[in-house]
Amino acid sequence: MRGNLEPLKYSTLVPSRYVVYLHPAEHARLEGIITVLQEQTMRALSEEVASQNGKSKLRQTVQRIFGERNPRIENPAGVWSVEFLPHPDGDIQEGDILVDSELLLPASPELGIGERTRRISTVHSTQPMTASFAKIVYEDEAGHHSLDIKDSVTIGRGGAAHPVDVKIVSSVDVSREHARIRRHPPTGDFFLVDLSTLGTTLIGRHVPRGPDTETRLPDEARIGLADTVYLNFTRLRRP
């Protein structure tokens, strides 16, 4: 759910439909309790949305005084749809799952009349992710995140006209396309590109701005997005 958020001006939308693919043998083992799995998954999704929307009285007071906006997280469809199916090709390991999440977006003049869906696939594996070369760990308004990096990723708040690989749930200080991390395959080095309006820092220092200007990342680094959200970058291995 957190990997397929759509931040809008007054709310943040979450995907409402999930298809969970299991290894055929795993699906056969669980087939008798699929209904229970569906009910508890939908309950967990609702609890997570409620938890993310929970605010302390102090936080509400600060926002009222300083005029801060913290958009509510909403399920625009109003209901959850969760299915558990055997993987049609059977090419996932037993114990692994593949989740397809679909985000239902409201009608927008930019997109034309009607609605559109965006699908994101996420693999949850019990096997080691040997194809990843680095990872980033960070916290935003949606919670704690840890993501593996294989090649290049674009980071930012995203949007219909600004697709990103790492969606940051934050204030508008973080640009829709804020930064890019690129891996150079021959050497295994990673480079940081600042695409933002309010700047990107590397270990506390601002990096040069512009799509054609790259800054080499050390094996471990702290990346700041407009001094609002901080990402901890770690190289896992070299080729």
Query: 38-47, 108-117, 128-137, 184-193 — which is least confidently predicted?
Result: 108-117
* Alpha carbons 118 and 28: distance in angstroms, whole number: 29
The arithmetic mean of pLDDT across residues 63-80, rounded, is 74
Domain ranges of the chain: 2-124, 134-235
Q: What is the mean pLDDT of the chain?
A: 82
Secondary structure element (H or E) that encloses residue 66, with its range: helix 57-66
Burial bucket for residue 28 (CB in 10 Å: 0-12, 13-18, 19+): exposed
Of 26 and 38, the one with more pLDDT: 38
The arithmetic mean of pLDDT across residues 82-105, rounded, is 80
pLDDT tens for residues 227-237? 999 999 999 86
Residue 86 forms beta bridges with which residues?
Answer: 22
Of 76 and 221, the one with more pLDDT: 221
pLDDT at 176: 93
Architecture category of domain 2-124 in CATH:
2-Layer Sandwich (3.30)
pLDDT tens for residues 108-163? 554 444 454 555 556 665 554 445 789 999 999 888 888 888 888 999 998 878 88
pLDDT at 177: 95
Architecture category of domain 134-235 in CATH:
Sandwich (2.60)
Residue 45 has pLDDT above 90, yes or no: yes
Of 160 and 207, the one with more pLDDT: 207
Query: 59-73, 124-138, 175-189 — which is least confidently predicted?
Result: 59-73
pLDDT at 228: 94
Residue 184 has pLDDT above 80, yes or no: yes
What are the Cα distances from residue 134, in Å, to 5, 68, 85, 152, 220?
23, 34, 31, 11, 10
What are the Cα distances from residue 20, in Å, to 15, 63, 86, 122, 232?
14, 38, 8, 10, 30
